[in-house]
């Protein structure tokens, strides 16, 4: 379901910021959950009963505390600067999780997180944001606190409230959840992240749409929810299973001096029951010194594709695109692009990104389980002349199945249930197939790595979607 755009402009603001920065005037404010009212009944993915995070009731409207909070907004209104307005636009132009998701993406890219580790981190951040939104929405439905404008007519807010109760602030809940999860992953960045959250929360005051108690309550929810996510992370088996290891190569098996996260298949899944739940059947053995006809044919195809790159720039472009970021980040960016284009609201965006991230984390666990059970050598491990022709270095993990293929098909399988118009579905499936083929073009995978990887990805996604439907998340 799509939503009406949430930003609006007071008289004269368009002239200050430029035409098109904010849409037209808001409608009458009410404290009904007109935007995604069902979100108050959604189930969390990790945090448990949303009622456990319910804050105490906000100050009564006629209390001195409530009046003081409204006076603070009037002070903000009187001193708003162009910089304040730009900050309001940045943090509030789209659904609350979007900016924090972008921040998470960039932090993982800058830190060079490898695919299974990046997918796990994405799940921590995005599931925390989703669970925090569910808890916040449940409290909103109970308290039904009217927006500041409804209680103080002299306010001229710069954002529409869409009839969403203001207490607790979902934006503050999202910020706090994201900061706590990211600070667990990057403790050295905790102070910087906290400062970003403070600035994001400040924009809600500056815009005149939340008072201080709204923000404090939302922040408490986000922190409490994220504590559950961090608790889960501390017990998922990943902490001591991220370092590379030596795996000795043999004539029939892959090996590497610094094998990438070989125990990732043992990590606790988010939705699957265990890492080997969808383990692929072991394919025919690849003997490096005496290739079967089937492997000779597949290796010949890999060589043809690599040799063709100078003549087909589009193949090289695709190979480069899909090799630039890890798949979980690429698909997270795709989802955000669609969410922004279609103007999804905060609960919807939080759910899409949270579910996608959990599925991606699980598919990498499943993929790595099969990879290190089979230990299929890469094309360049078999053909000593291939690597010199390839555009990229062969990754330090086994060939079967393709992680890009599995993750991309899993993402596309889920996202086509969200973005159901034919154009979106076609784009998503085309991208999933392009991701798989790009690995063949680059010489990194055999065709069968890709085909079976896609089968694995679809199996994981189908299972996860049904489980989440049964559990009240979808």
In terms of domains, do 375 and 294 share one? yes
| Any domain includes 192 | yes
| Any domain includes 64 | no
In terms of domains, do 256 and 192 share one? no
* Cα–Cα dist 31/213, whole Å: 16
Helix pair angle (447-470, 422-441), 10° resolution: 140
Query: Do 431 and 410 touch, CB atoms closer than 8 A?
Result: no
Q: Half-sphere exposure of residue 105, counting CA atoms within 13 Å on the CB side?
A: 21
In terms of domains, do 199 and 150 share one? yes
Q: Give the tokens for residue 302.
A: 């890999």
Domain ranges, residue 377: 245-470
Last residue of a domain, one of 234, 267, 292: 234
Output the pLDDT for position 452.
98
* Cα–Cα dist 47/53, whole Å: 9
Q: Give the tokens for residue 111.
A: 């830190």
Grouping H, G, I as helix, E, B as strand and the rest as coil, residue 270 is coil
Query: Do 233 and 119 touch, CB atoms closer than 8 A?
Result: no
| Any domain includes 227 | yes
In terms of domains, do 182 and 223 share one? yes
Q: Is the dihedral of CA 180, 184, 190, 196 positive or negative?
A: negative
| Any domain includes 81 | yes
In terms of domains, do 304 and 181 share one? no
In terms of domains, do 308 and 354 share one? yes
In terms of domains, do 177 and 258 share one? no
Output the pLDDT for position 162.
80
In terms of domains, do 210 and 276 share one? no
| Any domain includes 339 | yes
Last residue of a domain, one of 199, 234, 269: 234
Output the pLDDT for position 286.
96
Output the pLDDT for position 27.
31
Last residue of a domain, one of 189, 212, 234: 234
| Any domain includes 57 | no
| Any domain includes 98 | yes
pTM, rounded to two decimals: 0.92
The one-digit pLDDT tens for each residue of the chain (474 residues) are: 333 333 333 323 232 223 233 233 233 334 567 788 899 999 999 999 999 999 999 999 999 999 999 999 999 999 999 999 999 999 999 999 999 999 999 999 999 999 999 999 999 999 999 999 999 999 999 999 999 999 999 999 999 988 899 999 999 999 999 999 999 999 999 999 999 999 999 999 999 999 999 999 999 999 999 999 999 999 999 988 899 999 999 999 999 999 999 999 999 999 999 999 999 999 999 999 999 999 999 999 999 999 999 999 999 999 999 999 999 999 999 999 999 999 999 999 999 999 999 999 999 999 999 999 999 999 999 999 999 999 999 999 999 999 999 999 999 999 999 999 999 999 999 999 999 999 999 999 999 999 999 999 999 999 999 999 999 999
In terms of domains, do 311 and 437 share one? yes
CATH code for the domain of 196: 1.10.606.20
In terms of domains, do 381 and 454 share one? yes
In terms of domains, do 281 and 201 share one? no
In terms of domains, do 459 and 386 share one? yes
| Any domain includes 239 | no
Number of domains in the chain: 2
């Amino acid at each position: 379901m799509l939503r009406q755009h949430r930003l609006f402009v007071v008289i004269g603001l368009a002239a200050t910021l430029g035409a098109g920065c904010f849409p037209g005037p808001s409608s009458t404010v009410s404290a009904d959950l007109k935007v995604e009212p069902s979100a108050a009944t959604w189930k969390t993915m990790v945090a448990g009963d949303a009622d456990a995070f319910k804050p105490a009731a906000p100050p009564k409207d006629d209390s001195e505390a409530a009046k003081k909070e409204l006076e603070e907004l009037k002070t903000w209104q009187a001193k708003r600067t162009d910089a304040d307005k730009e900050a309001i636009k940045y943090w509030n132009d789209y659904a609350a999780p979007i900016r924090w998701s972008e921040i998470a993406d960039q932090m993982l890219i800058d830190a060079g997180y490898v695919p299974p580790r990046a997918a796990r981190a994405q799940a921590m951040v995005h599931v925390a944001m989703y669970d925090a939104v569910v808890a916040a929405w449940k409290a909103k439905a109970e308290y039904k606190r009217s927006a500041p404008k409804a209680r103080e007519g002299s306010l001229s807010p710069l954002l529409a409230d869409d009839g969403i109760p203001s207490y607790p602030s979902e934006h503050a809940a999202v910020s706090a959840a994201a900061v706590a999860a990211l600070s667990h992953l990057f403790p050295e960045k905790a102070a910087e992240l906290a400062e970003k959250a403070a600035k994001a929360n400040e924009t809600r005051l500056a815009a005149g749409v939340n008072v201080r108690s709204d923000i404090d309550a939302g922040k408490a929810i986000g922190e409490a929810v994220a504590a559950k996510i961090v608790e889960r992370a501390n017990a998922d088996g990943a902490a001591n299973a991220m370092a590379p290891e030596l795996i000795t190569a043999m004539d029939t098996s892959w090996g590497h001096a610094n094998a990438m996260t070989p125990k990732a298949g043992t990590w606790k899944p988010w939705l699957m029951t265990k890492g080997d739940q969808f383990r692929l059947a072991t394919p025919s053995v690849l003997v490096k010194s005496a290739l079967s006809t089937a492997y000779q044919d597949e290796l010949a195809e890999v060589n043809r594709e690599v040799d063709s790159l100078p003549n087909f720039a589009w193949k090289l472009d695709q190979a480069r695109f899909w090799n630039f970021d890890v798949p979980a980040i690429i698909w997270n960016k795709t989802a955000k692009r669609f969410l922004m284009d279609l103007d999804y609201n905060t609960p919807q965006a939080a759910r899409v990104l949270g579910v996608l991230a959990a599925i991606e984390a699980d598919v990498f666990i499943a993929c790595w389980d099969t990879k290190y059970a089979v230990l299929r050598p890469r094309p360049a491990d078999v053909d000593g002349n291939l690597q010199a022709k390839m555009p990229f270095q062969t990754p330090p993990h086994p060939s079967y199945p393709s992680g890009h293929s599995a993750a991309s098909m899993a993402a596309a399988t889920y996202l086509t249930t969200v973005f159901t118009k034919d154009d979106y579905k076609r784009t998503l499936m085309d991208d999933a197939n392009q991701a798989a083929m790009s690995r063949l073009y680059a010489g990194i995978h055999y065709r069968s790595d890709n085909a079976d990887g896609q089968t694995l990805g679809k199996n994981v996604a189908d299972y996860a979607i049904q489980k989440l439907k049964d559990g009240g998340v979808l």
